[in-house]
Structure 1
Amino acid sequence: MLTKDTGGPAMIPYCIVGGTRGTGMQIARQLVERGAPVRCIARDPVKARNLLPAGVDIRQGDVTDPASLRRAEFGECRAIFFAVDFTGGFGGRGFFKPARQIRTVTYEGLVNTVEAAREAAFTGRFMLLSGMGSELPSCTGRLLNAIKGNLQRNQRDRDAYLRNSGLDWSIGRGAVLTNGPGGQADIRITPPVHRLSMLCRVARPDFARALIVAADAPVASRKVFDVFNEPGIPPTDEALTAQLKHAGSGTPKYGC
């Protein structure tokens, strides 16, 4: 479990690739609140400085530029969170951009980051933020594939590449993400068995929290898991770790 930085081994930074928006930004903020050292790889360091908490180590890097990733010094990091999504387009969500352009960022960007981590002899855990039910057909999935350029195919290919990389990894698959506050509901972590459905949602801060816990939990090593909210009391980190112990297998089903 993550403990407050005391100047010892905890000085090893957590690295976030894609930390200037969405869930990646939530991860950065929560890690800083926990007293952890944080490094963010950003295309625009000036923009990142204006968005991220004080004290975050910001390094310039672009997932489409392998040379810039090699300068990120991944080898000294405790965990890498790959939170890259395609921005621009309608509402900054990357909607209706060319499929080839989206794949260059979301899939090939993951490949470039994994290879940079391997070259740097990274020995921590590589945390991939993914989406629920990418291998299962659903109405919601078809809609997202239409407006985000074969989103689920890119997710499947990323998952497979990371799983075969030789790195230690965990893949957290979020339900439909909402921008509401976290800490208002139960957080459920289950085997990766759910289809994507608009009825199954998770607040970004809660998804971020589950991923942070998984980054340090030995039981989350080499596991794929679904994350979603249900009505109830927000769980402790210990309770989330207990759920991770049983994640990683199961039979696909509809919804939550």
Structure 2
Amino acid sequence: MPLPNSDECSQLDFPVILLTGASGYVGGRLIPLIEQQQVILRCLARNPDKLRPLVKEATQIVQGDVLDPPSLDVALQGVETAYYLVHLMSGSKNFEREDRQAAENFAEAAKKAGVKRIIYLGGLGDDSDPKLSPHLRSRHEVGEILRQSGVETIEFRAGMVIGAGSLSFQLMKSLTDRLPVMICPRWLSTPTQPIAINDVLAYLLAAKDLPVGVSRTFEIGSPDVVTYGDLIREYARQRGLRRLLIFVPVLTPYLSGLWLALVTPATYEVGRHLIEGLKNPTVVQDHTASKVFAVRPMGVKEAIQQALAKHDSTVKLTP
């Protein structure tokens, strides 16, 4: 299966960048930023027709799936840097197994194709925590699989991404908008360091231009260590809402997921896995990113302001 515009691209002395997860939240926001650079952007998509209206004409789209190894061989031809922004939690009940298989497929294909660097966005959380949630454990496992390929891998570990369209942020927004009184588990006081979507994108772009080196993992987050309860209160304050949070000793993941499914747009399975992850502290412990990158993340207050401004402008534009 030939690549689109392969004759034209062979005449250009620009590196080829492969983006997986292009139809996802972070990937979709990354596309126009990469398109502004002197590179050839190639996107892997299961349904190219849906993605084509969202990208520039010069951007290549290759039909494929991370669970279909032959399609990866085609997509990775001539690729210098590959962004791995795939997470199968929303589409599979056994997401850990499928994420593992997808990462193994991609790692093997990238190695075979001679890819120089993989850039991956995972999740914060302490590897030594025996109670690390399946969601976070899977995120870390994927990073390890990519590193074991032998291809230089830059892994970013982040907590909640604050931005209009981010699933975690939308869950919090929906809950706060709809429930004047919230029955909350005590572990909603678990410390976390969320990060604004624009800062995530800045890190991902900067990683492409790092000098060649060994695989590295960077923990990233806002300068503010807060709790999920703090995030709810700050969102409510900016929206002019009065919300009462009542903390109870136990709210099981099962009940939490069911609750989320009833009051938010999220599915039961996704909500349950995200809720399980709230039990684990997601705080930056290694501050190496601040020494390597020029990115200076904004605080939580500003991040929420930007997310709401983006959301409100999008709503106004929607007929």
Among all aligned residue pairs of Structure 1 and Structure 2, give the percentage whose two residues are the same amino acid: 22
> CA separation of 1:59/1:8 partners in 2, compared to 1, >3 Å: closer, same or farther?
closer
1:210-229 alignment to 2 at 5 Å? 210-218=203-211, 221-229=214-222
3-state DSSP of counterpart to 1:71: helix
In the alignment, what sits opposite 1:76? 78
Report the Cα offset of residue 120 of structure 1. Answer: 1.6
Structure 2 portions without partners, runs of 5+: 1-10, 166-189, 225-287, 295-319
The answer to whether 1:22 aligns with 2:25 is yes
> CA separation of 1:47/1:136 partners in 2, compared to 1, >3 Å: closer, same or farther?
farther
1:43-54 alignment to 2 at 5 Å? 43-54=46-57
Which of 140, 145, 148 is the matching residue for 1:156?
Answer: 140
1:30–1:209 contact (8 Å) kept in structure 2: no
> CA separation of 1:134/1:112 partners in 2, compared to 1, >3 Å: closer, same or farther?
farther
> CA separation of 1:37/1:49 partners in 2, compared to 1, >3 Å: closer, same or farther?
same
1:155-174 alignment to 2 at 5 Å? 155-174=139-158
2:161–2:196 contact (8 Å) kept in structure 1: yes
> CA separation of 1:245/1:61 partners in 2, compared to 1, >3 Å: closer, same or farther?
same
Residues 155-164 or 217-226, more deviating: 217-226
Alignment partners' CA distance in 2, 1:221 and 1:134: 22
In the alignment, what sits opposite 1:244? 292
Report the Cα offset of residue 243 of structure 1. Answer: 2.4
Report the Cα offset of residue 24 of structure 1. Answer: 1.5
Deviation per CA, 1:123-182: give whole Å up to 9, x if none: x211111111152549xx96xx4xxxx21221222122122211111111122112249x
How many residues end up aligned between the 2 structures? 197
> CA separation of 1:198/1:208 partners in 2, compared to 1, >3 Å: closer, same or farther?
farther
| Structure with a larger share of its residues in helix | 2
Amino acid at match of 2:19: I
The answer to whether 1:178 aligns with 2:180 is no
RMSD (Å) for aligned C-alpha atoms: 2.9
1:116-131 alignment to 2 at 5 Å? 116-122=109-115, 124-131=116-123
Alignment partners' CA distance in 2, 1:107 and 1:60: 21
TM-score, normalised relative to structure 1:
0.67
2:206–2:293 contact (8 Å) kept in structure 1: no
In the alignment, what sits opposite 2:65? 62
Alignment partners' CA distance in 2, 1:214 and 1:179: 21
State the 4+ residue runs in structure 1 displaced beyond 6 angstroms.
Answer: none
3-state DSSP of counterpart to 2:220: strand
Amino acid at match of 1:125: R
Structure 1 portions without partners, runs of 5+: 1-6, 88-93, 182-196, 232-239, 247-256
TM-score, normalised relative to structure 2:
0.55
> CA separation of 1:8/1:198 partners in 2, compared to 1, >3 Å: closer, same or farther?
farther
Alignment partners' CA distance in 1, 2:191 and 2:23: 25
1:20–1:52 contact (8 Å) kept in structure 2: no
Report the Cα offset of residue 217 of structure 1. Answer: 0.6
